[in-house]
Amino acid sequence: MAAVYHRVDYDTHFNPEKYIQVVMSLIEYNRRFHVLLQKSLDTGKFCGDRMIDIGSGPNIHQLIPLCMRYKEIVCAEYTESCRRVLQNWKEKKRGSLDWTPCFKYVCGLEGNNGMLFSDETSEERENNLRKAIKEIIPCDVTKANPLEPRSDYPFDAMFTSLCLECASPDSRSYRQAVVNMASLLKPGGRLILWSFLNGTSYTIGETEFPILKVSEGFVKSALKEAGFIDIETTQVFYREDSDTTALNIGGFLYLTATKKARTQSVRK
């Protein structure tokens, strides 16, 4: 039986390479995510200078389209081993993860619409993403300033995938983590969130990690409480099959939102 580990054990028990194997096996759900993301990007509302990915893990596939919309990307991640995997990929170190099939797939999905240069190859996109990722830094969403001791924010946009529900042991800490994370985003800034829905755990190799069971209503209310508006959601239901038995979840939630702009105080 798999041993169940908790948030603090991410540093010691999270195996980035095995995790990526699980991520890669979720072909249908990755496809659904990228179709939804492309639809959001096609609105033209998601672009700017600096964006941050909160709880990146060792994963970069979600950033492939985003690097065409934001000049700089900061990957913020809790686990040291994941940060190393990302850094190795960025620096093209020997033995680093090969994301080539993913780049080919995402660039194909975008067609010419999603690309700045219609003749861009997936290899060029890999180099564009390497350049766009300016930094890979530590992050802990349980802290009031998740990037402590740094204070060089706010960011124009924020992306987070499968992180808050893994980092939070209960609903109160989830709500607080949303508030902490939101403090890094400028007023009017955009958020894209991809979450497990109604999950209890996921397994990597022999290790089982708990997931806080969140519903769409709960996630929306936590975001509203933290000052987000224009919340739009899509649920993706999960059907367990032999390839993806690693997940005890009901589905996924794709969500976009905007952080409320500061209201000007009117002087009488």
Ligand X SMILES: C[S@@+](CC[C@H](N)C(=O)[O-])C[C@H]1O[C@@H](n2cnc3c(N)ncnc32)[C@H](O)[C@@H]1O
**Residues contributing to the site for ligand X (CB under 6 A):** 7, 10, 14, 23, 55-57, 59, 77-79, 82, 139-142, 161-163, 166-167
Q: How far is the CB of 89 from ligand X (least distance, A)?
A: 14
Buried b (16+ CB within 10 A) or exposed e, 204-227: beebbbbbbbbebebbbebbeebb
Write phi, then psi, for 48 (nearest 5 degrees): 165, -165
- The helix or strand, by DSSP H or E, that contains position 104, with its residue range, turns out to be helix 100-110
Q: Do residues 14 and 209 touch, judged by C-beta distance below 8 A?
A: yes
Q: How far is the CB of 60 from ligand X (least distance, A)?
A: 9
Cis link prior to 16 (omega < 30° from 0)?
Answer: no
Query: Which one, 40 or 79, has the nearer CB to ligand X?
Result: 79
C-alpha span between 62 and 209 (Å, rounded): 22
Query: Which one, 123 or 240, has the nearer CB to ligand X?
Result: 240
Q: How far is the CB of 162 from ligand X (least distance, A)?
A: 4
Query: Which one, 46 or 78, has the nearer CB to ligand X?
Result: 78
Is the C-alpha dihedral spanning 32, 43, 20, 145 positive or negative?
negative
Query: Which one, 19 or 228, has the nearer CB to ligand X?
Result: 19
Q: How far is the CB of 33 from ligand X (least distance, A)?
A: 9
Query: Which one, 60 or 257, has the nearer CB to ligand X?
Result: 60
Query: 267, exposed or middle or buried, with CB in 10 Å at 0-12, 13-18, 19+?
Result: exposed
CA 62, distance to chain mean position in Å, is: 7
Q: How far is the CB of 10 from ligand X (least distance, A)?
A: 4
